[in-house]
A and B are shown apart, each in its own frame.
Chain A
Amino acid sequence: QVQLVQSGAEMKKPGASVKVSCKASGYTFTGYFVHWVRQAPGQGLEWMGRINPNSGDTNYAQKLQGRVTMTRDSSVNTAYMELSSLRSDDTAIYYCARERDFSTSRAIDYWGQGTLVTVSS
């Protein structure tokens, strides 16, 4: 069965960086885009970007450009999201997710369990 298993919770100080991993299993890792979505406490869903695990090509949300880097290691079926220059408003649950292409659309059909990143001095 398809699974996305993320790394554990992180606590960071302002200005630091965090790297979250997302290990995929149960499907061909290089066949599906991996997206990253975050959710601040009590807030909605915010799309951060995506990576094509086959090519490594990425697209990032404009507001995070320059601070976010998405990478992958296909040898271990794992995607990574690194966020630098952390601020308190980066405190959120970070999700990785797989996007599937349907014949007339595309949608995220599997999500990781989420990783809580807390930024506090």
Chain B
Amino acid sequence: DIQMTQTPSSLSACVGDRVTITCRASQNINTYLNWYQQKPGKAPSLLIYAASTLQSGVPSRFSGSGSGTDFTLTITSLQPEDFVTYYCQQSYSTPRTFGQGTKVEIK
């Protein structure tokens, strides 16, 4: 199975800050890496697929990069609605695996 290690597990930031979340795969997954956002009490929603492609309707302050084993999600100029939890997921093979999640909190 491919293990996904996501860091940090939580971070504190201010509105307007830039933050970066990292996801590392235990083996090469090319660009089969997705990022999801989950708001409290809601199902996750797709932010970025193929490592760097923004899902339709997602604000441009979100961006993704990486390939192979190392990936990042960057949020520039944090907005109040961005203080939620983010997950990476590999779709290279089954079982699909998720990172442990990163909770972005207001400082």
Report A's interface with B, CB cutoff 8 A.
35, 37, 44-47, 49-50, 59, 61-62, 95, 97, 99, 102, 104-109, 111-114
Contact = CB atoms under 8 A, between A and B. Distances in A.
B11 interface: no
Contacts of A61: 95
Contact of A59 (B91, B95, B101): B95
B51 to A, nearest CB: 7
Contacts, number: 69
B contact patch SS:
loop
B70 to A, nearest CB: 16
Given A45-B87, A47-B95, A47-B96, A105 B50 contact: yes
Given A45-B101, A47-B97, A62-B95, A108 B46 contact: yes
29 contacts: A37-B98, A44-B98, A44-B99, A44-B101, A45-B38, A45-B44, A45-B89, A45-B98, A45-B101, A47-B95, A47-B98, A49-B95, A59-B94, A59-B95, A105-B34, A105-B50, A106-B32, A106-B91, A107-B34, A107-B46, A107-B49, A107-B55, A107-B91, A108-B34, A108-B36, A108-B46, A109-B46, A111-B45, A112-B43
B28 interface: no
B49 A111 contact: no
Contacts of A37: 98
Interface string B69-86: 000000000000000000
A95 B89 CA distance: 15
A99 B94 contact: no
Contacts of B22: none
Which of B36, B87, B96, B99 has the most CB atoms of chain A within a 10 A radius of its CB? B96
Contacts of B1: 62
